[in-house]
Amino acid sequence: MLSRILLDSLTRRLSRKALSVVAVWIGLTLVLALLSLSVDVGDKMNLELRSFGANITVEPLASAIPVDVGGHRLAAEAVPSYLDEAELLKLKAITFFWRNNILGVAPRIRAAGQAKGQDVDLVGVWFDQPVATGSEPLVTGARQVYTHWAVQGAWPTRAEECLVGSAAARRLALAPGDTLALAVGREQLTLKVTGILTSGDKDDGSIIAPLSAVQGLVHAPGKVSSADVSALTTPDNKLAEKYRQDPKALTPDEYDRWYCTPYPGAVAKQVQELIPGSAARVVRRVSETQGMVFSRTKGLIVLLAALTFVVCSLSVTGILTAAVLERRPEMALLQAIGARRADVLVLFLAEMAILGIAGGVLAALTGPLLGRWLVSLVFGSTAELHLAVVLVAPFLGLGLAWAGGLWPVWQAVNQDAAQVLHGN
């Protein structure tokens, strides 16, 4: 009997029913598009925020631990120590859990040298280094990791070319196209300056040369002083903060959860475990800024989605109020012949559920598409279709219809049935 009433009710006044479905559909399309955007915003913004630089630095353990000798603290530079360059390739190896989160690696080797009779800092880096990843080819190095580097001239493409930091270029009176004779100890090297680098940090005072060239000067082939790693991470939350405060305070379950989440600290710890004799630390300035921007942006989008949901539920309320008002005599009659308020409520909520789910299913088709378009519009890249967003759509449609319809139906079932039946 209930299904008969429902079916008949749904097939009458089709225009009004269609209007309800369209209201849910349009509203949820917007909500789902925003939710899709909020899901994608993390990865997309992380990619955009790579301009802040690497968020993890890997150093030899010996450089990271202060060494006291006879009450004198030795600076790391005083005790040169290196990592194996080949070990860095493990970061993209299939065996590393976070390999897909590693966006780029920029190893460095430092040396103190002389040019034009003046002391200079020499930094060896990868500029564009192809790395075999097992799945897809990856080219990484300074050009990919230090996206904030501005080069006037051209990036080096050959082993005998280099960049000169803007401050060093002024000091040494160098310009693109000049030749630079470098000396490190007894070793000599002549490089052609292809560009002037402006980084905004201490690299502005350095000569940036190919890694292999500097390794040769310091007699450390296949060695690096440190590596900057750009990784896709998720912002720290209370759990990550708890680990930072005291790793031992985490329960085993919490630790597992922390370890399997790409918090900057968790990724750094696993990088450190991967590379023997290394110490990986999070560049807090970068990761916290990324986290803050990401959290606020995501929060804003989720807030917009929630507000859109509320606004849509209000419009659904308007449509359903009119529909319910029309059917007040029917509701009064049901109560007169023995239906409790809950019975009437169930009948009308079931009808609204069908309309809401129908709108939700339609929105499941259009919402993610709109979300993809928004992602391409905002970030200029394509977004994945998120199955979770599609699956949640009918439930959101149900929630939207109920949120919009509950109040008018509740008002109607609490009406003065006697007055309604007398046509007042």
Judged by the rule CB under 8 A, the positions of this chain that interact with another protein are 1-2, 4-5, 8-9, 12, 329-330, 332-343, 414, 416-419, 421-423
Distance CA 188, CA 420 (A): 101
Nearer to another protein, 208 or 347 (CB): 347
Would you say 1 or 377 has its CB closer to another protein? 1
Across 349-399, the runs of DSSP E, i.e. the strands, are none
The one-character DSSP state at 42 is H
Minimum CB–partner distance for residue 346 and another protein (Å): 12
307: Cβ contacts below 8 Å, ≥ 6 apart: none
Report the nearest approach of another protein to the CB of residue 18 (Å).
18
Minimum distance from residue 387 beta carbon to another protein (Å): 39
Distance of closest approach, residue 339 Cβ to another protein, in angstroms: 5
Residues 6+ apart with CB under 8 A from 56: 228, 229, 230, 231, 264, 267, 268, 271, 280, 281, 282, 283, 287
Q: Is 109 exposed, middle or buried (0-12, 13-18, 19+ CB in 10 A)?
A: buried
Buried b (16+ CB within 10 A) or exposed e, 157-190: eeeebbbbbbbbbeebebebeeebebebeeeebe
Can you tell me the distance from the alpha carbon of 280 to that of 87, in angstroms, rounded to the nearest whole number?
13
- Alpha-carbon span 164 to 171, nearest angstrom: 10
The three-class DSSP label of residue 377 is helix
Comparison of 62 and 350: residue with beta carbon closer to another protein: 350
Nearer to another protein, 334 or 364 (CB): 334
Task: Specify the residue, 1 or 69, whose C-beta has the smaller distance to another protein.
Answer: 1
Q: 108: which strand partners?
A: 125, 226
Considering beta carbons, is residue 118 or 414 the nearer one to another protein? 414
Question: Helix/strand/coil (H, E, C) string of 151-191?
Answer: EEECCCCCCCEEEEEHHHHHHHCCCCCCEEEEEECCEEEEE
Between 7 and 112, CB nearer to another protein: 7
User: In the structure encoding, which two tokens stand for residue 111, read together?
Assistant: 């040396």
Q: Which is nearer to another protein, 267 or 352 (CB)?
A: 352
Cα gap 304→315, rounded to integer Å: 16
Min CB(415)–another protein separation in Å: 10
* Residue whose CB is less far from another protein, 39 or 412: 412
Smallest gap from residue 20 Cβ to another protein (A): 18
**β pairing state of 161-165 and 187-198:** parallel
